[in-house]
Structure 1
């Protein structure tokens, strides 16, 4: 998190002060961190009593540690501090149970109290991140707070708080905190309580706001004209694959789209950011437990490399997609696609252009910001050199790769697209080079990691495959490219963990009864049989080999595929809603782990697969949505 620089700053890890309960605040001046003491990602992870607190020494880490030590509860891990304001529960560590958490906007009639979380909005001095502190004392004139990563300056001797914030109480007993700077905005405070008086209600009063609605554009003569710009390589490739200027493959759907409410959109954004943090926590949990890691069905030879990938702070995520079922029955996540997530161009470009061409004024494009957020992620990812975009010869991968290439280039990086592997070769020094003799050092791929692992599984000497240098001029295997230590790959090797369905039972064990999760287990329990369940191969793609069984043990849906021999997990049955003539899955897309846009995929069956269509998704304000 960016912080203010001060001439009295102290080196990373220096004690700045001690808050009530004996909780120490440390300097987070990352520029002064000793690389010998902090050589990798894991060394920056903070644990207390064996419980993960956060990233050293950020504001979120301090807040979680203070609450644990003083209150015996913690909030779920988040990517950005401002996202805490969307949480509505904390977990009591001693009982592993959820306790209610309420949010109160600055100016609320319920005043903060000692132990309240104080949350700042993203922007200004807290650009992109927001900020969180703990309120330790409340008066009519000021509150005192404790925090980390605000600055690097020691607290005055003998003082157990970092600073005071002025208070003004209005005529309606409304409680106002003065912002610490003109460009920093206090969102409000959070209190662990079941009392919702004066709180910000996250769940809509009308659950119908979580339903999707089918809609149709009025036909016009212009609607049938070409609307994608085939002079742009990605759009030309898309039109070529679709055999025309279509968003969907079904002619009867060329004028159809879906609407969701603003409340649903906000819930999806909050859920995406929270779930990303939960999946990352579960990934670290798995990588620290060899017996649990063995259940993921990965070749033994890659496990050391997998851990190195997670430890490498440069090995960051660029793209990922969460798949949800959303209706008036609730919002539940099915799984997380961190490895080669598809449909970015459909959501980030095509659905918006379709709506503009159709003259659609109703609602706003749910993927409008996706491309901009991708560019931002590439700009901030610390790439140093040319990026090679590697893709297979599948037509869908063609436009997907071109779309990503345009984002990489817009971020200011030189980029070369490689179709197949035949134009790559080994040079005399043992480097993998492209047709122009550029060394391959940074890679973004459309291939799934499992394709490379399948090559690895076929080799008797897996160590040799990972490290060997083949004869000069020969064509490398995909595993040669992706598993070389000197090549940085997006999405990184560690994404094999959160993308694997075996992560779902782990999540349920770490966050039992979390409202966004479905009960999941490595074994088919009686509870799941009673609820109805879904069997999923731990490694699979595009809905392959998934079965849906209801509580009467009747088979509702079954999709074949190439993963029938893989181990299975079992997940609580929570079927997609049927909206109009299709079952509809909502997908949220991230850039560097943060929510960046939404889209839908539809199918006449209950299982979304490779051939399921995308359709345009628009966000409508709540009142209009309910009036239609």
Structure 2
């Protein structure tokens, strides 16, 4: 694993916007000098490294499924801040194995040892378009003889064909809370992959979904019944809203309700309980840092690195935010590796239950937040 510099393509902004990354200018807070998409650098991997990472990621995914089984069987949903009224529905969703589409692991990896799990974005992961499409075309334009850990697009199409969805169109729902356009473009891309798989689709704003109380069903603005829906709207938000009581029992949602367990950082502590000392895990606890001298406190339902606190013998660091009311997990802290002053996080993608690709974000800070930049990667061909 190496970080290498290169010359950006002529008119690269126009190129990536034409590939769907129209939100790259709005993806960053104002005032940053570095662009969100930065192809002036990239990471190079050997095929052996990638094959090893694939094995590690699939093993981690299997461990996460075992953790979900344990949580349901032991009745530990309160540890995940699941509302008491929804606990049985989450359990039933898991017991039915409601179909799922995709997820993203965030990993610490420096090329010299096993990857370490930082968190699992298993409900509403983003940076998909960058990982699947945009960096693939970068590779073809700049290093056509090399390869990339990237079968995301093909696997998404295959997965849409496999999903046992009810008849009729699948609705794709975004939220009007999205101001950058990232969510809308991610939804449009996923909708396109579903259509390429032969699915009929309809776009709808989450705020425009209505509840037909007489017929006990969800409908769109044209009164069409919503039998299945893909959403980039977290389950914890849905469960906190009035219609959430209907959503857990009506319609097929992707991602399914049981993903509320895997997208919650309490998962990190359960994994450490079930697989103590596993080389891909960092120690993590729900009841405090215990004997950890360096740790990071993460809100169970936090996003974009907000409301986190790092504690080390040499000092600490906090990020602003309003998360944490639901509780924290305390995870052993290992600083992200330093490559030329930048600290990468590897985002390893799962499509269904198979590892499918890699996206990399990097920042100068110890916590990856909304100031990070996405950089492409390649696999060197020997």
TM-score norm. by structure 1 comes to: 0.56
For residues 362-373 of structure 1, the aligned pairs below 5 Å read 363-367=146-150, 369-373=151-155
- Once residues 495 and 389 of structure 1 are traced to their aligned partners in structure 2, the CA distance between those partners, rounded to angstroms, is 18
SS in 2 for 1:379: helix
Q: SS state of the match for residue 292, structure 2?
A: helix
- In the alignment of these two chains, the number of paired residues is 372
**Pair 1:214 & 2:3 matched:** yes
The answer (yes or no) to whether the contact 1:501–1:537 under 8 Å persists in 2 is yes
Larger relative contact order (Cα-Cα within 8 Å, sequence gap ≥ 6): 2
Distance, in Å, in 1 between the alignment partners of 2:247 and 2:209 is 16
Cα drift, residue 488 of structure 1? 0.8
Cα 1:311–1:423 change in 2 (3 A) is closer
Matched residue, 2:253: 489
- Aligned counterparts of 1:259 and 1:249: Cα–Cα separation in 2: 24
1:311-360 per-residue CA deviation (whole Å, 9 max, x = no partner) reads 124x1221111111001254211111111111111100111123334x33
1:275 deviates by 0.7
Is the Cα contact below 8 Å between 1:363 and 1:619 reproduced in 2? yes
1:270 corresponds to 2:30: no
Alpha-carbon distance, 1:224 to partner: 4.6
> Are residues 1:286 and 2:71 paired?
yes
Does structure 2 conserve the Cα–Cα contact (< 8 Å) formed by 1:259 and 1:363? no
Change (3 A) 1:454 1:611: farther
Aligned residues: CA RMSD? 2.4
Separation in structure 2 between the aligned mates of residue 543 and residue 405 of structure 1, nearest angstrom: 28
Pair 1:415-2:204 in alignment = no
Q: Could you tell me which residue of structure 1 aligns to residue 41 of structure 2?
A: 256
The answer on whether the counterparts of 1:249 and 1:613 sit within 8 Å (CA) in structure 2 is no
Rate the CA distance shift 1:602–1:505 in 2: closer, same or farther, 3 A. Answer: same
CA deviation digits over 1:208-262, x for unaligned, max 9? xxxx322222356x455732474xxxx45x32x2249x9x982594422221222
SS at match of 1:607: coil
Which residue number in structure 2 is paired with residue 320 of structure 1?
Answer: 103
Deviations 1:120-157 (A, max 9, x none): xxxxxxxxxxxxxxxxxxxxxxxxxxxxxxxxxxxxxx
Q: Which residue of 1 aligns with 2:144?
A: 361
Q: Equivalents in 1 of 2:82, 2:12: separation in Å?
A: 49
Cα offset, 1:451, TM superposition = 1.1
**Structure 1 residues 436, 449: CA separation in 2 closer, same or farther (over 3 Å shift)?**
same
Native 8 Å contact 2:161 2:197 kept in 1: yes
Displacement of 1:423 in angstroms is 5.9
Map 1:46-85 to 2 at 5 A. none
* 2:325 corresponds to: 565
CA deviations 1:71-111 (Å, max 9, x no partner) are xxxxxxxxxxxxxxxxxxxxxxxxxxxxxxxxxxxxxxxxx
Residue 546 of structure 1 corresponds to 308
- Consecutive unaligned residues in structure 2, runs of 5 or more: none
Residues 511, 219 of structure 1: alpha-carbon distance in 2 compared, 3 angstrom cutoff: closer
1:382 aligns with 2:164: yes
The CA distance in 2 between the partners of 1:308 and 1:340, in whole Å, is: 21
For residue 427 of structure 1, report the CA deviation from its aligned partner: 7.3
In structure 2, the residue matched to 1:404 is 190
Task: Give the Cα–Cα distance (whole angstroms) in 2 for the partners of residues 549 and 428 of structure 1.
Answer: 54
8 Å Cα contact 2:38/2:374 also seen in 1: no
**2:80 counterpart residue number:** 296
Secondary structure class of the residue paired with 1:588: strand
Check whether the contact 1:345–1:403 (CA below 8 A) recurs between aligned residues. yes
Look up the SS of the partner of 2:14 in the other structure.
Answer: coil
Equivalent position of 2:221 in the other structure:
435
Counterpart residue number, 1:392: 175
Distance in 1, Cα, partners of 2:12 & 2:270: 49
Structure 1 229/578 Cα, relative in aligned 2: closer, same or farther at 3 Å? closer
Shift of residue 525, structure 1, vs aligned partner: 4.6
Q: Secondary structure at the match of 1:523?
A: coil
The question of 1:613 aligning with 2:378 is answered no
C-alpha displacement at 1:363, in angstroms? 3.1
Could you tell me which runs of 5 or more consecutive residues in structure 1 were left unpaired when the two chains were aligned.
1-211, 456-464, 466-476
> Residue 541 of structure 1: CA displacement?
1.5
Alignment of 1:19-30 (within 5 A): none
1:427-481 Cα offsets, whole Å, 9 max, x none, are 75343222333210111100111111222xxxxxxxxx4xxxxxxxxxxx4x266
Counterpart Cα distance in 1 of 2:256 and 2:340: 39
Aligned mates of 1:544, 1:337 — CA distance in 2: 15
**Alignment TM-score, normalising by the size of structure 2:** 0.90
Measured in 2, the distance between the counterparts of 1:310 and 1:266 equals 30
Q: Which residue is 1:350 aligned to?
A: 134
Structure 1 stretches of 4+ with a deviation exceeding 6 A read: none
